[in-house]
Structure 1
Amino acid sequence: MKCLSFPLSWFLCSLFTYGHTKNAYASDEPWLTHAEFIYPVNTLGVDERPYLAVSSTQGVALLDTQGKVLSSIDIKSEHLDFRWLPESSQVGILSTLDINSGKVQLIKVDVAAGELRAMAEFSAKNTAIDALCVGSSSEHVELYTVDVDGSVQQLAINTKNIEHWYLHPVRDFTVGPNIKSCAVDDTAQTLYIAEENIGIWRYSANPEHEVNRTLLQLPTELEVEYVDATSFGDVAVVSPDSNHIWLFDSTNTTFNPIALTHDVAPKTLQLQREGTSLVAYLFDEKSGHSRNIELSDISTKQGDITQGEAQQSFTPYGQTQPVQSYGDAADDPAIWVNSKVPSQSLVYGTDKKSGLNVYDLEGKLLKSLPVGRVNNVDIRYNINVNGETVDIAAASNRTSQSISLFKIDRGTGLPSLLGDLKTDLADPYGLCMGKYGKDLAVWINDTDGRFQRYNIEFNNNMATATMTMQWTVPSQPEGCVSDDENLRLFYGEESTGVWLKNLDEKSADTLIATATSDVHADIEGMSLFTVNDQHYLIVSSQGNNRYAVYAVDDNNKYLGVFAVGANWTKMIDGASETDGLDVTSHHLGQALPDGLLVVQDGHNVMPKAAQNFKLVSGTLLRNWILEKIN
């Protein structure tokens, strides 16, 4: 065996497979010498690992370490990708493509029992599938398919039913035609797609991220055939036009060639990490035989394009119905607390292309008011209107350059429009309310940086607004929240951070939080949450899909960030690119004893739909804060 030296301490040991390699195939077993796809299954606590094999002439098989068939399914197939089921090292999912029916087959692999069982199939409508791959996390496994028109389907695999698995759509997007294969790097949440005459396209596998791609260039004359990735972040490509394995170096975002012997034309590829060695299992188009190649002393390199992971992720228990408008439409929520029947509290949410929506605590739409392009909304309680005590909601209305004011029925929680109070702002944007003694105030800003305070008064069922304060910030503001009791206003300058204005002092405003590696612009929605009589400011860090928390009673101490992730049991996606948010620590019934967090979701998927709002139990936030401060 000859070992060749390569840059970066890489070297190649050719271990051509005719029964004489490491973990050798038995030469008299046709599966291991003729199957186009061979994948060794690494299982914990098992000295002799089995193999999975996929053949266009024989079907699908589970083989023992000598290559003898333990179980097989007569489905002539191409493509092979495998993942363990969550929290399992003995049962996994094999995905392959039936060449006769054109359907993706999902097969249960029970290594302990030595059995294969077909559990689900999937076919694309009015088209044919060219490529498939699977990805996984600690909670679920996903299937990716690419059809002949270049449309990607991302689907979650529900494996709870022991008789049959089910597929749930997550998202779909277009990548273009002539796709040969795909692979997922689970560690970096990255999807790699091989376009035959172009190269390798890299996408985020996180459905909450925008569909942006990066081309990883290969030699222009190379017709890319197969790409594969390991769970450690190794990525490689082969083409039958070149006797090389092209290994990805994420540091330089390049593929480095590793030469094979001149008589090899690799058509397929399965990668496997074995200690410090990387092993490539190939099908040689020239000989029609399977081979394995050991790449020793290859350091693990990962190409993370996911913008990083938050320290902790909260799972939403529910979500609102999507807004009526498509595109960037849902924006800001406000929670109306029902003091008499807390479990019947409501969520207000703006559709900034249409009007104001009202939802129950399960997310069902109860009322929609088409009052114009309202952007932000807030609520205050116990307001005296001509001798009647009512609750009031206010929203910034970009259609009429006004403050839209609503009277809330204290029995049902549903609003009715009182009227629009004109401002001198050209583009009313962010808004919040404050109640200081008997004074009801609306804080509103413009995209040009102006911030204003209007005092609201009622006379004979007519509301009037008087501007009593104005200032300007250097760049665009939006989110704000008033701490009425302590006479302080927190407001955001999207590109800069969070400002504090003390309302009982004439001192200059203080920048209490800035954009950091954890907290990215844009600084968007914000609200106050109370734990043990202490106030915590929750801020949307829109630029990296996180939420930052500051202990504003403890010198504005930064506590950390969290994310709102997917609820795979209920098939509710997480939240990303959040504009507005609201939170309350009030008891909202047995299901929400510590209140509620509501966040706007900029990318509503699982399945793809117009934007909406995600609903998170306040208990998750309370417990997180207590862990941080104790």
Structure 2
Amino acid sequence: MRHPFRRLAVSALTLAVAALPAGPALARPGHGAAALPAVHPRAETAPLTDDEAGGNADADDPAIWRNAAQPDRSLVVATAKEGGLRVYDLDARLVQSIAAPAGPTPDAAPGRFNNVDLVQGMKLGGHRADLAVTTDRGNDRLRVYRIDPAAPGGPLTDVTDPAAAPVFSAGQAEIDEQRTAYGLATWTDRATGRSYALVSRRERSTLALLELTATAAGRVGYREVRTLDLPSAFRLPDGTSWSPCAEPGELPQVEGMVVDPDNGVLYAGQEDVGIWRLRADLTGTPRLLDKVREYGVPGTYDESTEECVAGAGPGYGGTRLTADVEGLTLLQEDDGDGYLLASSQGDDTFAAYDRETGEGNEYEGGFRVTAASATLDGSEECDGAAVLNRPLGSRYPNGLLVVQDGHDTPGDGETAVTDFKFVDLGDVRDALDG
């Protein structure tokens, strides 16, 4: 998610960069981006606008569902926040639009779909079903949809258990404060066959492991297994303590997450901190595998401007990610290799890390998604991403990468205009291998 009030003021940030010692340096957005290879989208969805005329729709996070019987008819399921869900075909054309549910009262927060992920082959109503699971941040719940391209009315059908309780909140008053279900990754434990959703909490560092459960009526609910709090304050090499600058009362949240199904490892992007690696069952000790460039730079929140102003002092961040670190997705190769891909939102790039945890998830390179033509632009301020390394018919025989574009062009400069870009996965491989 883009946090304009968390962005370091550029002038103050420049002063902070000048004060840093030699070594890994804090960089302004855009630093080093030109050195990375570029890939170009093949298609884009229709723009979504965050205003009343556009239904308060704001593109956020995609997931790719492969139609095994007819790969050419595979689908992209994507969240549009208060605009609900959108389903697209491989030409990026709209197939189905699902409205976010309203709040329980007119004064309550409306539904707001934040992140989405898929579960394959869950037993439901005596049959195996593929599911799209999304976080409804507005109502602090998970919403679950069965995927069936032959279903009348559209490929997605709501199968959420109506008795599903809030994920984090004790009641509606707490829900309305919107410290609610936010980021999401699904995981099926191969040892037990049980399926889970890992959910983060907005403006908190909490992660929750929820087991997805099927009801006798063919609905899907969930139960909490355990929670874990990632650190919100960090001891720096100079002996001081540091927390990311934020609006008072907020803690550094997680949004982008993905689970490696081969080893049950969860990767979680704490937006203003970096990428964590931990067990998907939320046991054991998390490890910070890479940091954002801004890690360790002191900042003070200015209420009048709703910005964080950087102070002079050293930073201890990495060199590949510029806050926020956002959409995480896993490129799984057939030989067991592959990449963890992360959106470096602050400089409009994507970073790739080796999947091999024994090698420390080494950085393997990066790329940008840039304009293919005057009418097909690239991806900026990317919130969410999804990749699938499977042939998808004639359009994407090499697989597909879908990325959110947080600043679609052309726009009027005032209304938020967003969409999703479709990128041939072969082009991404070429960029990383080159």
TM-score relative to the length of structure 2: 0.71
Within 2, Cα distance between the matches of 1:600 and 1:591?
Answer: 19
Match of 2:134 in 1: 395
Match of 1:575 in 2: 379
Match of 2:338 in 1: 535
The reply to whether residue 430 of structure 1 matches residue 183 of structure 2 is yes
Match of 1:513 in 2: 290
Match of 1:37 in 2: none
Q: 2:422 aligns with which of 609, 615, 619?
A: 615
Match of 1:20 in 2: none
Letter of the 2:33 counterpart: E
Distance verdict in 2 for CA 1:505–1:441, change over 3 Å = closer
2:340–2:353 CA contact under 8 A, matched in 1: yes
Match of 2:246 in 1: none
Q: 1:489 aligns with which of 266, 278, 284?
A: 266
How far off its partner does 1:305 sit?
8.6
Superposed CA deviations along residues 91-113 of structure 1, whole A, max 9, x for unmatched, are: xxxxxxxxxxxxxxxxxxxxxxx
* Structure 2 unaligned regions, length at least 5: 1-6, 12-27, 101-110, 170-178, 233-251, 293-317
Superposed CA deviations along residues 363-403 of structure 1, whole A, max 9, x for unmatched, are: 11111110231000001111111211110111110121100
How far off its partner does 1:345 sit?
0.7
Within 2, Cα distance between the matches of 1:510 and 1:604?
Answer: 35
How far off its partner does 1:306 sit?
5.3
Letter of the 1:449 counterpart: S
Distance verdict in 2 for CA 1:400–1:504, change over 3 Å = closer
- Quote the sequence identity (%): 30
Match of 1:206 in 2: none
The reply to whether residue 562 of structure 1 matches residue 367 of structure 2 is yes
Match of 1:549 in 2: 352
How far off its partner does 1:505 sit?
8.9
Distance verdict in 2 for CA 1:507–1:338, change over 3 Å = same
- Where 2:47 maps in the other structure, the secondary structure is coil
Superposed CA deviations along residues 9-54 of structure 1, whole A, max 9, x for unmatched, are: xxxxxxxxxxxxxxxxxxxxxxxxxxxxxxxxxxxxxxxxxxxxxx
Within 1, Cα distance between the matches of 2:378 and 2:343?
Answer: 14
Distance verdict in 2 for CA 1:547–1:305, change over 3 Å = closer
- Where 1:485 maps in the other structure, the secondary structure is coil
Within 2, Cα distance between the matches of 1:528 and 1:624?
Answer: 16
- Where 2:423 maps in the other structure, the secondary structure is strand
Superposed CA deviations along residues 89-145 of structure 1, whole A, max 9, x for unmatched, are: xxxxxxxxxxxxxxxxxxxxxxxxxxxxxxxxxxxxxxxxxxxxxxxxxxxxxxxxx
How far off its partner does 1:623 sit?
2.1
Distance verdict in 2 for CA 1:468–1:315, change over 3 Å = same
Superposed CA deviations along residues 557-599 of structure 1, whole A, max 9, x for unmatched, are: 1012211000116x20111000011111111112212211111
The reply to whether residue 323 of structure 1 matches residue 48 of structure 2 is yes
How far off its partner does 1:313 sit?
0.9
Match of 2:120 in 1: 381
2:208–2:227 CA contact under 8 A, matched in 1: yes
1:594–1:618 CA contact under 8 A, matched in 2: yes
Letter of the 1:567 counterpart: A
Within 2, Cα distance between the matches of 1:481 and 1:309?
Answer: 24
- Where 1:588 maps in the other structure, the secondary structure is coil
Superposed CA deviations along residues 313-371 of structure 1, whole A, max 9, x for unmatched, are: 11101001122534782110111111111111111111112201001111111111102
Within a 5 Å distance, the mapping from 1:56-67 to structure 2 comes to none
Within 2, Cα distance between the matches of 1:586 and 1:576?
Answer: 26
Distance verdict in 2 for CA 1:306–1:542, change over 3 Å = closer
How far off its partner does 1:607 sit?
5.6
Match of 2:240 in 1: none
Distance verdict in 2 for CA 1:623–1:411, change over 3 Å = farther
Within a 5 Å distance, the mapping from 1:129-208 to structure 2 comes to none
How far off its partner does 1:507 sit?
2.9
Distance verdict in 2 for CA 1:305–1:394, change over 3 Å = closer
Match of 1:624 in 2: 431
The reply to whether residue 352 of structure 1 matches residue 155 of structure 2 is no
- Where 2:426 maps in the other structure, the secondary structure is helix
How far off its partner does 1:526 sit?
0.5
Letter of the 2:72 counterpart: S
Within a 5 Å distance, the mapping from 1:453-468 to structure 2 comes to 453-460=209-216, 461-468=218-225
TM-score relative to the length of structure 1: 0.49
Distance verdict in 2 for CA 1:505–1:457, change over 3 Å = closer
- Where 1:583 maps in the other structure, the secondary structure is strand
2:168–2:180 CA contact under 8 A, matched in 1: no
1:409–1:415 CA contact under 8 A, matched in 2: yes
Match of 2:324 in 1: 522
Q: 1:439 aligns with which of 194, 215, 218?
A: 194
Q: Would you tell me which structure has more strand in proportion to its own residues?
A: 1
1:325–1:351 CA contact under 8 A, matched in 2: no
2:210–2:225 CA contact under 8 A, matched in 1: yes
Within 1, Cα distance between the matches of 2:257 and 2:198?
Answer: 8
- Where 2:395 maps in the other structure, the secondary structure is coil
Distance verdict in 2 for CA 1:585–1:574, change over 3 Å = same
Letter of the 1:521 counterpart: A
2:226–2:282 CA contact under 8 A, matched in 1: no
How far off its partner does 1:484 sit?
1.9
- Where 2:69 maps in the other structure, the secondary structure is coil
Q: How many positions carry a matched residue from both structures?
A: 328
Within 2, Cα distance between the matches of 1:380 and 1:407?
Answer: 10
Within 2, Cα distance between the matches of 1:306 and 1:407?
Answer: 40
After alignment, is 356-365 or 602-611 more displaced? 602-611
2:88–2:96 CA contact under 8 A, matched in 1: yes
Within a 5 Å distance, the mapping from 1:4-403 to structure 2 comes to 307-310=31-34, 311-323=36-48, 325-326=50-51, 329-371=58-100, 372-403=111-142
- Where 1:331 maps in the other structure, the secondary structure is coil
Within 2, Cα distance between the matches of 1:523 and 1:430?
Answer: 13
* Structure 1 unaligned regions, length at least 5: 1-209, 215-303
2:30–2:348 CA contact under 8 A, matched in 1: no
Within 1, Cα distance between the matches of 2:219 and 2:394?
Answer: 39
- Where 1:611 maps in the other structure, the secondary structure is strand
Letter of the 1:602 counterpart: G
